[in-house]
Amino acid sequence: MIFARKVWALLVGIKDGLVLLFMLLFFIALYAALTARPSPGQVRDGALLLKLDGTVVEEPAKVDPFELLMAGDAPVKEHRARDVIRTLEAAAEDERIKAVALDLSRFMGGGQVTLQDVGAAIDKVRKANKPVVAFAHAYADDGLLLAAHASEVWVDPLGGAFVMGPGGMRLYYGEALARFKVTPHVFKVGTYKDFVEPYVQSQASPASKEARGALVSAIWEDWQAHVKAARPKADLARVTNDPVGWLKASQGDAAKAALAAGLVDKLGTQADFHARLRALVGPDPLDDSPLGFAHTKPAALLAAHPEDADGAAIAVVNVAGEIVDGKAGPGTAGGTRIAKLIDQANADGAKALVLRVDSPGGSVMGSEEIRTALNRFKAGTKESGARPVVVSMANLAASGGYWVSTPADRIFAEPGTITGSIGIFAMIPTFERALADYGVKADGVRSTPLSGQPDLLTGLTPEVKAMIQANIEQNYGRFVGLVAQSRKRSPAEVETFAEGRAWDGGTARQKGLVDAFGGLNEALADAAQRAKLGDEWHPAFYGQDEDPYASLIEQLRGNEDADAPAAGMDLTGLVAARQQAGIDRVLNDLARLFEARGAQALCLDCPVPVAAAKPATAQAGLMARLLGFFGG
């Protein structure tokens, strides 16, 4: 027995030792994953391999690695536009980079203005006499906007290139909500403030169609102008005016049709694409496969070309995504979080501030919190004195996105920017009619007309509805007044282009909502000039601290070099992807109706910048709740 106990103790000790050893190895590996950073020494002679597997956005949403572990599907990967542009500009300058491999096989899009900025960076690479070779299994509008700037455009023989154009149909829920006896109480100001129309009508109003038609037309013309300038031989008229005839002329072969229309240059598989790059830059010394080519990844190239930090700091703060109350973000514009970033730049003594706006608007309270923080920055301190604030509008700066822009000394936008939409609304659903069908009635005693109000189950009193409408009208008057003060116009003049109507950047400039065309660089240069900094300055980006979990998240997403199947390999795949986006939009529409929100300054047709997708479980939970509600 004594011998057996000693053997057992020895086995337990070995087991405990192995457990401790494996735990130690696990935490060492975890630490290595969290702290792994690219090295400048990893830049090699060859190509820059730029794989845009996901979306290109102004400000990526923060991804929680633990949520990523628990999610059934990984969120869509987001590439910061500024990093993509810096990488391409570094490739143009670095003598070790001989070409750029632009892999769009899993590209999922981005804002039109943002992609035009990336396209301009691709042009810089080509001006440095370095070829840019693009590949995708299938191209749609966003992919074509980037690929048009490449020197060689490859597409898979089973794929193609399709020009869809902006616009499309959206759902109107008015009759459905009436059938289920849900009463959406709408309070708004602005003839063109059509965000609430899908909830109370069965079709768009004439005013909404007028404004949306003009906006879509302007954005479409801007897209065509950029593609034609980058790729003059592309026959866009043939592709867009008679898409069926264009496709049938190539016997239904979409890849050959794209080649015939000049949208692409070469038909070939991803292996052919790699072989072409191998011929351009040579084999990969670290890859024995016959298709490996010498390349450098973006992170290594950026590490080799750090940003300049000399001279005075000009703060850059992003307002990206829907504006909400609180500390939400990045990727969502939490008013409290952004106000704190502006106050931090104020405390740090930044000499000027550029607000980069890419938002469809949102909470009036959140927008006002950001605006007042900007005014605190402008006022400065006794030591600093007044300091300039310049706004750089990206893809959209509408409604609340324009509210936060009103303190600017100068506003820059692009022709494709969506802005304006100066209007306010609020929406409160009540369920008294639905409950009455089940025999649930309301009764009680009030001491005033406001007692127990607002009551979502028993309805709103006339007094409460009148008070909410009066408050919305007051907020609208304040919005118009802020714009009038900012633009040095009378409120009556602002009313002529307000009323909730969204404008393209070109029209907005004509109407005085925008001062000049230009991007972030032009806004920074203007801020430096106003602050009298000469050439001794650098941009300081706030709220874009390096994520300590970045390396771990990349590993959890999977190997970026893996040749995973690409979604949307043909026209049917692209249609399926749009179908999924439509389903997501319906869920978001219905979720917005039932969420508790204050007064909103939001634009209906402004495309919300893509944020990291919620786990499928969260979407299923929302669907289950909706089905449960409508199913009784």
Helix axes 550-557, 2-35, angle to 10 degrees: 100
Cα distances (angstroms) measured from residue 361 to each of 218, 319, 364, 418, 424: 21, 10, 8, 11, 10
> Which strand ranges, in their side-by-side order, compose the sheet holding 78-80?
78-80, 54-57, 107-110
Residue 14 has pLDDT above 50, yes or no: yes
pLDDT value for 551: 47
- Provide mean pLDDT across the span 555-563: 48
Cα–Cα distance measured from residue 598 to residue 365, given in angstroms and rounded to the nearest whole number: 8
- Provide mean pLDDT across the span 392-404: 95
Residue 96 has pLDDT above 90, yes or no: yes
* Cβ neighbourhood burial of 182 (10 Å; 0-12, 13-18, 19+): buried
Cβ atoms of residues 413 and 393 within 8 Å = yes
Residue 547 has pLDDT above 60, yes or no: no
Cα–Cα distance measured from residue 341 to residue 346, given in angstroms and rounded to the nearest whole number: 9
Cβ atoms of residues 116 and 414 within 8 Å = yes
The per-residue pLDDT for range 598-629, each reduced to its tens digit, is 778 777 666 554 433 343 333 334 443 333 43
The DSSP string of 139-203 is E-HHHHHHHTTSSEEEEEEEEEE----S-------HHHHHHTT-EEEEEEE-TT-GGGHHHH-SS
Enter the tokens of residue 165.
């154009």
Cα–Cα distance measured from residue 477 to residue 483, given in angstroms and rounded to the nearest whole number: 10
* Cβ neighbourhood burial of 439 (10 Å; 0-12, 13-18, 19+): exposed
Least confident of 16-20, 329-333, 431-435, 567-571: 567-571
Domain residues of the chain, as ranges?
43-163+231-304
> Is it true that domain 43-163+231-304 has CATH number 3.90.226.10?
yes
The per-residue pLDDT for range 408-437, each reduced to its tens digit, is 999 999 999 999 999 998 888 888 888 888
Q: Which of 273, 262, 266, 267 is nearest to 227 (CA)?
A: 262
Strand pairing category for 424-430 and 183-189: antiparallel
241: number of Cβ within 10 Å: 10
Enter the tokens of residue 373.
């923080």
Q: Which of 40, 55, 239, 16 is nearest to 613 (CA)?
A: 55
pLDDT value for 146: 97
Cβ atoms of residues 88 and 100 within 8 Å = yes
Cβ atoms of residues 109 and 55 within 8 Å = yes
Q: Which helix (H) or strand (E) covers residue 272, if one does?
A: helix 270-281
pLDDT value for 196: 87
pLDDT value for 574: 64
- Provide mean pLDDT across the span 202-206: 92
Q: Which helix (H) or strand (E) covers residue 267, if one does?
A: strand 266-267
Helix axes 206-230, 112-127, angle to 10 degrees: 10
Least confident of 136-150, 371-385, 499-513: 371-385
Cα distances (angstroms) measured from residue 261 to each of 105, 144, 202, 237: 21, 13, 40, 9
Q: Which of 224, 200, 332, 75 is nearest to 604 (CA)?
A: 200
- DSSP letter at 608 equals P
Helix axes 335-348, 364-379, angle to 10 degrees: 10
457: number of Cβ within 10 Å: 11
User: In 297-402, at which residue ranges do the beta strands (DSSP E only) sit?
Assistant: 312-320, 323-324, 333-334, 352-359, 361-363, 389-398
- Provide mean pLDDT across the span 275-295: 89
The four Cα atoms 257, 50, 164, 230 give a dihedral, to 10 degrees, of -70
pLDDT value for 448: 83
pLDDT value for 566: 47
- Provide mean pLDDT across the span 204-210: 91
Average pLDDT, the chain: 85
Residue 72 has pLDDT above 80, yes or no: no
Higher pLDDT, 314 or 169: 314
pLDDT value for 243: 94
Query: Please, what sign has the CA dihedral across residues 514, 518, 519, 523?
Result: negative
Peptide bond connecting 330 to the previous residue in cis, omega within 30 degrees of 0: yes
Radius of gyration of the chain (CA): 27
pTM of the model: 0.85
> How many alpha carbons fall within 13 Å on the CB side of residue 428?
19
- Provide mean pLDDT across the span 228-244: 95
Cβ atoms of residues 102 and 154 within 8 Å = no
Cα–Cα distance measured from residue 361 to residue 110, given in angstroms and rounded to the nearest whole number: 18
Q: Is 234 helix (H, G, I), strand (E, B) or coil?
A: coil
Cα–Cα distance measured from residue 207 to residue 595, given in angstroms and rounded to the nearest whole number: 27
Enter the tokens of residue 127.
């001006």
pLDDT value for 27: 56
Q: Which residue is it, tokens 């301009």?
A: 120
Choose from 39-48, 426-435, 573-582 the range with maximum mean pLDDT.
Answer: 426-435
